[in-house]
């Protein structure tokens, strides 16, 4: 079930990312809001707004510049709540997601929540074990959401920092050829919006989340001490859990500049410590953190209100915009049809106009000769005379040529011709048979090709085509006959 959910989320993420090119990422923390604008996943602009300046126009002006973008929110706050639940699932409803059902019924419709199922125990009633993160909408988030709403931006996701740190740690581990499933690990990051973030994880399970203040008036060595003390306390708190499960310990640091150098020079009571790859000198690791964030699909937080919103947004982006394009194509098609109808109406009007003029002229002539009747038949007679006056190629010479060239091996069954009045061309048909005995070595195809070639040479004003009508066996078992048709079409000069 969890694999199906993950696959569904990845498909939706792929679809959404493929149709979105401009985005603002809001990093919302206890210390302020960081705005980062990305164009095709490349950072183009950024702004940090402290909590004390949220009421100013700094955020409004930045968002207004990129109001054609989508908005993503990363929440990094002490207010994020972590709880663990073990939920029994009866077999008859096993296809449902019990953690989703739990969140739907236990949280307010505006509360943001997300979860990671870290194990499923198969018994009479399956037990789903999950780490659930949730957060009520606070004033800072509400301020940012109003910005999105006022600028008619699409909201494309909420993401909790502890979940992002899990995905980031996994990428960093792979960069160091380490498999995270072999360890219980701590992930550490420093952000301008929230300070020091520390999570302790085992597989998909988030065991602990800690957010520490970052005293800006203190030295880097002091900050180093805060990090080391909190990391040490986290390992101590889960010492019995680690020993009971016989786990190896790993530290994953997302740090930059001098702080990274100080931490990396120390040894810890862990099997290994690894670091994010970066050469940034900044004391905060937000840009490094965001670089990892944009590399991989993340589990988005949601609320009951957001689920409805996302469905509407996806339908609007995929189906409605496609429908708009279809409507445009249909509109253009209708315009072309209307143009054709307009041209047809004009041509029809011209024909009717010519007809009425001819009828009027005919009536005027008829009035001059009242004793003459059947004027319409006279018109037909006149048209027939015109048709007969036109010269056409005679079918007789080319028929005579065929008979002379073919010789005794050809038996002519039927000769017919017709005049195509519409195209003003003559079409003649000669049905014949070529008879050969079993002992005859005559090559029929070559023989007929030579006849047609000779006919075309003598009669360049005819197009000549040979067609087989039907094969049949003669009464004489010693021979066989094939009925052919020579189609002679006059070529107009």
The answer to whether 256 and 191 have CB atoms below 8 angstroms apart is no
pLDDT at residue 23 greater than cutoff 60: yes
DSSP 145-192: HHHHHHTTPEEEEEEEHHHHHHHHHHHHHHHTT--GGGEEEEEEEEET
Average pLDDT over residues 335-364: 74
- What pLDDT sits at residue 171? 93
**What does the pLDDT average to over 77-104?**
82
Q: Do the bridges between strand 42-50 and strand 32-39 make them parallel or antiparallel, or are there none, so unpaired? A: antiparallel
Helix runs in 369-443, H state only: 375-389, 395-406
Min mean pLDDT across 16-20, 77-81, 98-102 is at 16-20
Which range among 169-183, 258-272, 367-381, 417-431 has the greatest average pLDDT?
169-183
Q: What percent of the chain has pLDDT over 70?
A: 79
pLDDT of amino acid 68: 85
Distances in Å between the alpha carbon of 464 and those of 68, 137, 410, 428?
68, 87, 17, 10
For the chain, helix, strand, coil in percent to 5 are: 45, 30, 25
**pLDDT value of residue 65:** 92
Query: Chain-wide mean pLDDT for the chain?
Result: 81
Give the per-residue pLDDT at 329. Answer: 72
Mean pLDDT confidence for 475-480? 48
Cβ contact 199:162 at 8 Å: yes
pLDDT at 14 over 60: no
Q: Indicate the DSSP class of residue 48.
A: E
pLDDT of residue 375: 59
116 token code pair: 């990671």
Contact at 8 Å (CB) between 485 and 431?
yes
- Region 47-67: mean pLDDT is 92
Q: Sheet with 126-135: list strands edge to edge.
A: 81-89, 126-135, 112-121
Q: What local confidence, expressed as pLDDT, does residue 121 receive?
A: 86
79 in Cβ contact with 135 (< 8 Å): yes
The secondary structure of residue 491, as a DSSP letter, is P
pLDDT higher for 369 or 85?
85
User: What's residue 481's pLDDT?
Assistant: 63
pLDDT value of position 435: 74
pLDDT at site 283 = 84
Per-residue pLDDT, 316: 58
Measured distance CA(99)–CA(128) in Å, rounded: 8
Reply yes or no on whether the pLDDT at 189 is more than 50. yes
Beta strands in 361-461 (DSSP E): 410-420, 425-437
Would you state the pLDDT for residue 477? 46
> Does position 17 have pLDDT exceeding 60, yes or no?
no
- Banded model confidence at residue 397, pLDDT cuts 50, 70, 90: confident
Q: Does residue 409 contact residue 447 with C-beta atoms inside 8 Å?
A: yes
Domains, the chain: 2-302 (no CATH), 395-490 (3.30.70)
**Of the listed ranges 133-137, 219-223, 243-247, 332-336, the one predicted with least confidence:** 332-336
- pTM metric for this prediction: 0.61
Residue from 138, 121, 134 nearest 84 by CA: 134
Q: With 50 as the cut, is the pLDDT of residue 478 above it? A: no
Backbone angles phi, psi at 363, to 5 degrees: -65, -40
Residue 306: pLDDT band (50, 70, 90) is confident
Question: Which pLDDT belongs to residue 11?
Answer: 58
Residue 274's pLDDT band, with cuts at 50, 70 and 90, is very high
- State how far the Cα of 76 lies from the Cα of 162, in Å rounded to an integer: 8
Position 15 confidence tier, pLDDT thresholds 50, 70, 90: low
Torsion angle of alpha carbons 62, 64, 70, 73, nearest 10°? 40
Please give the pLDDT value at position 182. Answer: 84
């Amino acid at each position: 079930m969890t694999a199906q959910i993950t696959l569904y989320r990845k498909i939706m993420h792929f679809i959404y990312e493929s149709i979105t090119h401009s985005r603002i990422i809001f990093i919302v923390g206890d210390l302020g809001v960081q705005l980062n604008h990305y164009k095709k996943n490349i950072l183009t602009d950024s702004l940090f707004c402290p909590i004390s300046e949220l009421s100013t126009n700094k955020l409004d002006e930045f968002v207004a510049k990129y109001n054609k973008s989508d908005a993503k929110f990363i929440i990094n706050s002490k207010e994020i709540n972590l709880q663990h639940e073990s939920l029994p699932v009866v077999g008859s409803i096993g296809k449902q997601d019990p953690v989703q059902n739990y969140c739907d019924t236990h949280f307010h419709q505006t509360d943001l929540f997300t979860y990671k199922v870290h194990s499923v125990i198969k018994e009479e009633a399956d037990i789903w074990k999950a780490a659930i993160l949730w957060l009520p909408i606070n004033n800072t988030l509400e301020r940012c959401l109003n910005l999105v709403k006022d600028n008619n931006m699409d909201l494309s996701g909420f993401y909790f920092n502890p979940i992002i740190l899990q995905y980031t740690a996994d990428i960093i581990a792979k960069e160091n050829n380490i498999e995270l499933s072999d360890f219980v690990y701590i992930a550490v990051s420093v952000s301008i919006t929230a300070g020091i973030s520390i999570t302790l994880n085992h597989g998909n399970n988030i065991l602990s989340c800690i957010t520490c203040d970052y005293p800006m008036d203190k030295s880097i060595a002091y900050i180093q001490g805060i990090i080391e003390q909190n990391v040490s306390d986290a390992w101590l708190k889960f010492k019995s859990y680690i020993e009971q499960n016989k786990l190896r310990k790993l530290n994953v640091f997302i740090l930059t500049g001098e702080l990274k150098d100080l931490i990396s020079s120390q040894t810890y009571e862990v099997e290994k410590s690894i670091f994010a790859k970066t050469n940034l000198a900044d004391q905060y690791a937000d840009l490094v953190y965001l670089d990892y964030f944009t590399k991989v699909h993340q589990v988005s937080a949601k609320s009951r209100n957001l689920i409805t919103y996302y469905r509407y947004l996806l339908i609007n982006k995929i189906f409605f915009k496609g429908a708009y394009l279809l409507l445009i194509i249909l509109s253009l098609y209708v315009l072309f049809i209307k143009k054709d109808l307009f041209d047809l109406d004009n041509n029809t009007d011209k024909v009717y106009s010519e007809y009425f003029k001819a009828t009027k002229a005919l009536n005027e002539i008829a009035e001059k000769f009242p004793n003459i009747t059947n004027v319409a038949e006279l018109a037909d007679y006149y048209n027939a005379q015109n048709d007969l006056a036109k010269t056409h190629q005679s079918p007789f010479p080319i028929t005579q040529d065929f008979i002379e060239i073919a010789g005794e091996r050809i038996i002519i069954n039927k000769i017919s011709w017709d005049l195509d009045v519409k195209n003003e061309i003559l079409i003649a048909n000669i049905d014949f048979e070529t008879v050969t005995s079993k002992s005859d070595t005559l090559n029929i195809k070559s023989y007929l090709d030579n006849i047609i070639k000779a006919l075309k040479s003598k009669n360049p004003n005819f197009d000549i085509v040979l067609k087989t009508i039907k094969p049949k066996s003669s009464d004489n078992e010693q021979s066989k006959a094939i009925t052919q048709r020579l189609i002679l079409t006059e070529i107009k000069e």
